[in-house]
Amino acid sequence: MKPRKTLPPWLNRQLRWRPVDAVDAPETIRAWLRDSGSLTRRLQRLGDFHVETLHETTRAPRPEEGCLLGLRNREAARIREVLLHLDGTPVVYARTVLPLRSLRGGNRLLANMARRSLGAELFRRPRAHRKAVWAAAIPLSMLPPDVANEAAWGRLSLFLKRGQPLLVAEVFLPSLWRQLEESLH
């Protein structure tokens, strides 16, 4: 099956992913949600950056993820969840879903990123193409424990790398906005 550009509204009603331009987020947050460049590079410009791997496994993704990637029911994918840290503080929670068929040829290295940033590889030649991006307010219940004490904003991007699909969800934790605010003073 081919990847989809649109998310069926009946999938994951709790999140209500919408096209990024249709969300009602504060302007500072909207700028981050809309940014088409490398999140890794943007964070690296702000301070000391590192990746903490929370979980890495091969299993069936969530129904909406499988639908967007064009996977058959219960088809396995490589799933990776990480925290991106800035100056020792987690500022982004990220979840990547890579269909196993996407991990062939030059994309094989995406399956074993360890503590490296996926973003650095996505924006390396040949650059990944962001085919679609959605945004949503992410409830606290959908975040890993102990990374935030309030809801956050996130974006879900459908990328094509060497013609193969992958999904990247990035949740901008409230600690990011606090760090940005502090850096202005």
Residue 138 domain-assigned (yes or no): yes
Residue 97 domain-assigned (yes or no): yes
| Residue recorded with tokens 């390396």 | 124
Q: Into how many domains does the chain fold?
A: 1
Residue 115 domain-assigned (yes or no): yes
For 110, the domain range is: 25-184
Compute the distance between CA of residue 122 and CA of residue 127 in angstroms, rounded to an integer.
Answer: 6
Compute the distance between CA of residue 122 and CA of residue 160 in angstroms, rounded to an integer.
Answer: 9
Q: How far apart are the first and last CA of the chain?
A: 51
Residue 130 domain-assigned (yes or no): yes
Residue 35 domain-assigned (yes or no): yes
Residue 3 domain-assigned (yes or no): no
Residue 73 domain-assigned (yes or no): yes
Q: What is the pTM of this model?
A: 0.89
What does each of the 185 residues of the chain score in pLDDT, given as a tens digit? Answer: 555 555 544 445 566 788 888 888 999 999 999 999 999 999 999 999 999 999 999 999 988 899 889 999 889 999 999 999 999 999 999 999 999 999 888 888 888 777 788 888 888 888 889 999 999 998 888 888 877 778 899 999 999 999 999 999 999 999 999 988 887 76
Residue 9 domain-assigned (yes or no): no
CATH code of 87's domain: 3.40.1410.10
Question: What pLDDT is attached to residue 43?
Answer: 95
Helix boundaries (H) for 89-147:
118-122
Q: Which residues are CB-neighbours of 44 under 8 A, at least 6 positions away?
A: none
Question: What pLDDT is attached to residue 10?
Answer: 43
